[in-house]
Homo-oligomer: A and B are copies of this chain.
Amino acid sequence: MPTIYLAGPEVFLPDAQALMAQKRRLARQFGFEPTGPGSDENQAPSGILTADAIYRRNDLAMRKAEICLANITPFRGISADPGTVYEIGFMIALGKRVWAYSNHPDDYGRRVEADWYRGQALDRTSGRPRGPDGLAVEEHGMADNLMIDGGITATGGQVLRAATIPADPARDLAVYEQALVLLAQSVTADRS
């Protein structure tokens, strides 16, 4: 049973334990052994672990896992949780199979325009779209910064997105489950 590291910001939710337990149950249903933040149910809750202990636990879990499935739904801003982004880069460098999903349907560039610049139009008169502050805005049709989408797709993974924003984007598991289905097919195809 391949080990899957479930990266994402769920650990910060007030109902983290219940939601992460549900994600682990679903992962097992599709033939994966889940690991990652909050997966050590019988150990101390992460709230009372030191930062260094949390880091070391995650580092070890990433090295042991075969697959990463990362929740890159925007977290406290326009991009994915930075801990999750670190883990995506880390596991791609280790040659793991990395996939991601987002409960936000829009391209990164569109979110920057709508949510960061609050709908102020980008300047498109030069070759590169720029915000009112002059900062260039990536418009590559990707879910987030091009290194994230780029790294995942260049190594054979997929970045899945919701078709529309669900009622509870921090907790909705429809795209997560869709990713598990496709990942399981992908693993089976590689082994046959």
Contacts and interface: CB of A to CB of B under 8 A. Distances in A.
Given A54-B150, A90-B90, A147-B55, A136 B85 contact: no
Task: Say whether chain A's binding surface is mostly helix, strand, loop, or mixed.
Answer: helix
A73 B51 CA distance: 21
Interface stretch (A19-27, A75-83, A159-167): A75-83
A94 B41 CA distance: 30
Contacts of A151: 55, 59, 86, 90
A55 B150 contact: yes
A81 B145 contact: yes
A156 interface: no
Nearest to A134: B14
Contacts of A145: 81-83, 86
Interface residues of A, number: 54
A144 B51 CA distance: 12
Nearest to A53: B150
Interface in A76-111: 76-83, 85-94
A52 interface: yes
Contact of A90 (B52, B92, B140): B92
Contact of A82 (B56, B82, B140): B82
A175 interface: no
B51 A87 contact: no
Given A77-B79, A136-B12, A52 B150 contact: yes
B147 A87 contact: yes
Contacts of A147: 55, 58, 82-83, 86-87
Nearest to A93: B93
A34 to B, nearest CB: 19
Nearest to A95: B93
Given A51-B142, A59-B151, A145-B86, A76 B77 contact: yes
